[in-house]
Structure 1
Amino acid sequence: MLFMYFQTQMSLLRDWNPSMVWNTAVTVFAACTFNFGPHALTLPHLDFGRFNPDRGGHLILWDLKLVIRFPPGSTILIPSAIIRHSNVPIAADEFRCSFVQYTAGGLFRFIRNGFKTDDAFELTATREEKSERAEEAKTRWAKGVAMYSTLDSLKRS
């Protein structure tokens, strides 16, 4: 469900501005970052390199109190704006780099605002639109969390 949401939003953005240049046509994310190391510490990412994943490179999700072994070639999808995260350093003689894909929350707000900033939306929205936005805000968090897959939903697939 989350993938479909991202796909729909990026399609709306493409339709709004067809001349926009995209990093790649095969992703639902609007932006990417390459971290070429040699000791990259990054946001959610795809790791590759020469390091011992038992000694370093673990992903730390602070709010969940988790330290996850994260070997080369691993990937993860986390809501990085709401879960504090970091990585365990690797040894000085080891190598690690990463590729991160993401879409800033402000871009989703821009699309939801009818391709306007929050300030422009507030200046032009009717009282009814502002009321609808306030009602939507009450359930936005729960609806967002519900888009993530669970083990049970993956088993049913």
Structure 2
Amino acid sequence: MRVYEWDGVPTPIVDADNYILIGLGGFPDNGTGDWQQEVAVPAADAMQAAAITMYSEPKWRRKMLGKSGKPTPRRGAHASKSAGASMGGGQTHPQNLSLTVRNAAVLASLFALEPFRRIAGFTNMVFYAFAQQLHGFYAAEFDKICAHDPSILRNLPRRLSVFSTATFNFGPATVTLPHIDFRNLAWGWCAITALGNFAPDRGGHLVLWDLKLIIRFPPGATILIPSAILRHSNINIAKHETRFSFTQYTPAGLFRWVYNKFRTDKDIDKSKTTTPQEHEQRRKDRARRWAEGIKMYSKWEGRTRTL
């Protein structure tokens, strides 16, 4: 494994053909001054307060270890809540994720805070800078869903985010186990923003197992990765430290819904009106979509930093 002591400066990670595979977004001012004091620290404080409200503090803190001290959830033993549009797992159409009235109000209050709006806006800008065509695809497809079904709610204004869904990982020690986000778009990106009070030189690093790469991941920084195809996790932090994360993404099922002209695969495959020729064309399209998808990656023409 290689270790990249990333300093938070926006940096692309490119493949052998110089296409940007990962966007190390960092922070607008290299993590010093205003960004830390006005965005990163208040966002972490707000997430901690929200967690205590939703879980009650003792229960929230027990999430650090999980039952019998062993993490059982697939991604790790930390508390988390998601909001936004969902499609998959047998759903017949896109729906807003179900939340209790209290939890919905708490998450809505987080989305309304200036620190999270600044994080989302900066992430949106970085996404556009590193992958303009992919960013445009995300924006256009979610626009179609919202236009088709006005009941689908955006977590944030369109100008701030093209993603349909977000997860607040409340920790208090958000350290994920090795996993892939198999419900996300295969060639798409997921944006991860690290928050909290931890020493990034000693823990919290992002581990990309398939690339055999460990990346220093300081609080307040954002990284965009193809989370459906790269197995990833985090390095542990110290017992007295806290680490939260704010992730933004769009489930693959939403893209399939638009591609199917607002129908599910099951509806089309079982429909008596679907001809054999249409079935064959869909089979060919599925094989071709990956090749078309990775063409949305941008080629980096500038200098690259040595990892």
Separation in structure 1 between the aligned mates of residue 138 and residue 279 of structure 2, nearest angstrom:
24
Distance 1:44 1:57 in 2: 16
Q: Which residue number in structure 2 is paired with residue 40 of structure 1?
A: 174
* Amino acid of the structure 2 residue aligned with 1:40: T
CA contact (8 A) 2:146 2:153 kept: no
The range that moved more, 125-134 or 13-22, is 125-134
Task: Give the Cα separation in 1 of the matches to 2:303 and 2:264.
Answer: 36
Asked if 1:141 corresponds to 2:290, the answer is yes
Count of residue correspondences: 155
Point out where structure 2 has 5 or more consecutive residues left out of the alignment: 1-132, 177-189
Look up the SS of the partner of 2:246 in the other structure: strand
Of 105-114 and 1-10, more deviation after overlay is shown by: 105-114
Structure 1 counterpart of 2:146, from 14, 27, 33: 14
Compare 144-153 and 15-24 and name the one that shifted more: 144-153
Which of 255, 267, 290 aligns to 1:108? It is 255
Q: Give unmatched runs, 5+ long, in structure 1.
A: none
Question: Given the alignment, which residue of 61, 72, 85 partners 2:219?
Answer: 72
1:53 and 2:200 correspond: yes
Q: How far off its partner does 1:73 sit? A: 1.5
- Relative to the length of structure 2, the TM-score reads 0.47
Structural mapping, 1:124-135, within 5 Å:
124=271, 125-135=274-284
Contact 2:144 2:258 in 1 (8 A): yes
**Contact residue 204 and residue 237 of structure 2 kept, 8 A:** yes
Question: In structure 1, what is the Cα distance between the partners aligned to 2:297 and 2:235?
Answer: 26
Q: What is the distance in 2 between the residues matched to 1:5 and 1:154?
A: 26
* AA in 2 matched with 1:4: G
The Cα shift of 1:153 comes to 7.6
d(CA) in 2 for partners of 1:140, 1:11: 20
1:148 Cα offset (Å): 2.1
Q: In 2, Cα distance between the equivalents of 1:27 and 1:117?
A: 26
